[in-house]
């Protein structure tokens, strides 16, 4: 069966510090991978998605970046965090772009920027 | 740009009641509509997926309908239980595998 992992589970960082969140998927190959952010009072927002190694598409301009160094690894980074980067970050994977397929979400990382 | 709205934002009901959660979307050019459940501090769990050519989907006590032309979907929960307490999110799929989410309905079912 497929599983998706995210770490760390929680993170408290000062403004201006760097960020690295990691997501890995097991039990499948060549998944589509997604990073979402859920900020207080706002809906879940798609940040990045990837359909293959080294292929990253950005949905929202921001000071965050994403990378996919391996088939089942997706990393979210920032060089300097802002207060507005606080939120709940969710990684998801999908088997294909078939409209009958859903996305499967990881447990999330709670990021607080102080 | 797709916008998804969910009403009500919060709902509190006694155990055993049947209830309806509403979702509306502005762009009817969707591939599918999905309902997810999110427990506090947790990830999302997919409940039901309705393809654009379908009218409804059922899973146990859950039934979701889709009226694409009017931009509406409803999630019907029969005989609610305390374990149903969670936030329910509606999302549409359009574009290049892009899910657009509503802000959710927070449901509390009291014993």
pLDDT at A99: 66
Using the structure block, give the residue that is written with the tokens 């979907």. B73
pLDDT at A18: 97
Rounded (5°) CA angle B13-B46-B23: 55
* Tokens encoding A35: 């990073």
Min distance A84 CA to chain B CA atoms (Å): 18
Mean confidence (pLDDT) of chain A: 92
Measured between beta carbons, which residues in chain A are less than 8 angstroms from residue B43? Answer: 90, 105-108
Total residue count of chain B as it appears in this document = 111
pLDDT at B96: 62
pLDDT at A1 over 90: no
pLDDT at A97: 66
What backbone torsions phi and psi does residue A83 show, to the nearest 5 degrees? -55, -35
pLDDT at A41: 79
Residue of A6, A36, A43 to mutate, testing the B interface (most B Cβ within 10 Å of its Cβ): A43
Give per-residue pLDDT as tens, B86-106: 999 999 998 666 789 999 999
Q: Is pLDDT larger for residue A56 or for residue A96?
A: A56
CB contact under 8 A, B101 and A45: yes
Chain A, 8 to 67: residues with Cβ < 8 Å from chain B are 32, 34, 41-46, 49, 57, 59
Give per-residue pLDDT as tens, B35-56: 999 999 899 999 999 999 999 9
pLDDT at A42: 82
Mean confidence (pLDDT) of chain B: 94
> Rounded mean pLDDT of A14-37?
95
SS3 category, B84 = helix
Using the structure block, give the residue that is written with the tokens 């293959």. A52
Nearest to B49 by CA among B68, B36, B30: B36
> Rounded mean pLDDT of A83-105?
86
pLDDT at B72 over 80: yes
Question: Sign of the CA dihedral A76, A79, A81, A85?
Answer: negative
Q: Is pLDDT larger for residue A2 or for residue B14?
A: B14
Residues forming a β-bridge with A76: A21, A66
The kind and range of the H/E element at A26 are strand A19-26
Q: Could you tell me if A86 and A55 are in contact, meaning their C-beta atoms sit under 8 angstroms apart?
A: no
Q: What burial class does residue B89 get, using C-beta atoms within 10 Å of its C-beta: 0-12 exposed, 13-18 middle, 19+ buried?
A: buried
Residues forming a β-bridge with A112: A12
Beginning with the edge strand found earlier in the chain, give each strand of the sheet holding B56-59 in spatial order: B4-7, B19-25, B72-77, B62-67, B56-59
Nearest to B79 by CA among B8, B9, B12, B13: B13
Nearest to B49 among A57, A102, A110 (CB): A102
């Amino acid at each position: 069966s497929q599983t998706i992992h995210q770490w760390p589970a929680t993170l408290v960082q000062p403004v201006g510090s760097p960020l690295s969140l990691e997501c890995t998927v097991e039990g499948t190959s060549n998944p589509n991978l997604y990073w979402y952010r859920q900020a207080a009072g706002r809906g879940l927002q798609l940040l990045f998605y990837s359909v293959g190694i080294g292929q990253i598409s950005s949905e929202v301009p921001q000071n965050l970046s994403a990378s996919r160094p391996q088939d089942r690894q997706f990393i979210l980074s920032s060089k300097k965090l802002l207060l507005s980067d606080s939120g709940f970050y969710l990684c998801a994977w999908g088997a294909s772009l078939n409209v009958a397929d859903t996305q499967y979400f990881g447990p999330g990382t709670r990021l607080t920027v102080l | 740009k797709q916008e998804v709205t969910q009403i009500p934002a919060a709902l509190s009901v006694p155990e055993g009641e049947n209830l309806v959660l509403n979702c509306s979307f502005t762009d009817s050019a969707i591939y599918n509509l999905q309902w997810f459940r999110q427990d506090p501090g947790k990830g999302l769990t997919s409940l039901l997926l309705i393809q654009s050519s379908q009218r409804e989907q059922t899973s146990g006590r859950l039934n979701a309908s889709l009226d694409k032309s009017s931009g509406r979907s409803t999630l019907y929960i029969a005989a609610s239980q305390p374990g149903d307490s969670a936030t329910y999110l509606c999302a549409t799929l359009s574009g290049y595998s892009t899910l657009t989410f509503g802000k959710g309905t927070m449901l509390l079912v009291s014993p």
